[in-house]
Structure 1
């Protein structure tokens, strides 16, 4: 089996785990805020939601360098080997940080690491966005569909950042639910927080569908 097919297989797996994990997270979130469930049942739903969410979180930093290397091997993108290596190193760092944060939830050092991760995503996505714009408007070395795929990925990273911002009040509200029991106020707060995240989730799904269509050249 050649390198191109292996990379293509890994790229497709990343897509499957991103979209499938997002769907599982979305469905579990509905049970987390369901007023009809007991608090222990909602805690179990939260554990399921967080576990499902690891699929998208780990797929995101892998799908992009896999796609870029595929494009380079396929002859669609002229990119220097040193740029590919840098891209992989940055995305492996991103992957490891996500894993470390998940495995060490609640530990003191994760607060600073999560903040660093937040700014890393903004800076990294901004750089990718500039690259995508350059490929779209000023470069003849890449087809437009490839530039659009890169820009759509950047948009999805932005959506993920917005979900993270909107979810910030969720943890203290859920802790209150556990410690003090359910109330109309805390239930409404949790519903409002999750509701604010849903449009961003739908936007990510749309981005995944669009990038899949672009990758299959449905409009060419």
Structure 2
């Protein structure tokens, strides 16, 4: 226990790096698998198998992106940037994100059912106020106000929060695309459908463009955390 307390920041930083690796690597795996999901030369069962692989890879990326925020806030508390988390505040914060992570995994486990789709939609809906709150908190911090206390030389922290919020927006779009896979494949299982195939290909083409922006954004988050340039 003494070791954990003494090395609390180092351990959190280590887990933070792991979460970032799974986030970045997982998104690359889903990106590559999507080519076979839309490949009309493959039979539907084969494409379903690739879709299943994509979901299994993506859950690690989703876990990573959910964990990054509480890890960052916890480290922010230790740096002195987030004083409102002192005392019991940090435990309430972890409880909130534990519920969020539980919803993410429940949606994954039940992904082929109506309840799984419902949980996914609820989890997606909850991201909207969270994203707005993160942007507000970040921009308030640049002005020297709000719950995040930073100053000259430490503006990398609110910048990282803002960039993470932007990444959540892109991730939200990519999640919607993946959720639609299940519905479209249910239609395709009933027989060939050119309209569904075209919609699937269009959505994934858009998602691939978003993925490139996603990787640049993730790299930016990594850079701010590692270099702390301003």
Is TM more than 0.5 here? yes
Match of 1:155 among 151, 160, 166: 166
Question: TM-score, length-normalised on structure 2?
Answer: 0.85
The gaps in structure 2 that reach 5 residues or longer are none
8 A contact 2:112–2:182 mirrored in 1 = no
Residue 183 of structure 2 is matched in structure 1 by 172
Match of 2:205 among 177, 181, 195: 195
8 A contact 2:20–2:68 mirrored in 1 = yes
1:163–1:18 distance in 2 versus 1, CA, 3 Å? same
1:169–1:102 distance in 2 versus 1, CA, 3 Å? closer
Tell me the CA shift for residue 90 of structure 1.
1.8
Give per-residue Cα distances to partners, 1:143-162, cap 9 Å, x unaligned: 21100100011111111222
More deviation, 167-176/42-51: 167-176
- Write out aligned runs for 1:110-189 (5 A): 110-139=116-145, 141-142=149-150, 143-167=154-178, 169-181=180-192, 184-189=194-199
Counting matched residue pairs gives: 219
Distance in 1, matches of 2:158 and 2:224, equals 10
Residue 205 of structure 1 is matched in structure 2 by 215
Structure 1 runs of 4+ with >4 Å offset: 166-169
More deviation, 24-33/185-194: 185-194
Aligned alpha-carbon RMSD (Å): 2.2
**Residue 35 of structure 2 corresponds to residue 24 of structure 1:** no
Match of 1:93 among 96, 99, 106: 99
Question: TM-score, length-normalised on structure 1?
Answer: 0.89
The gaps in structure 1 that reach 5 residues or longer are none
Distance in 2, matches of 1:188 and 1:22, equals 23
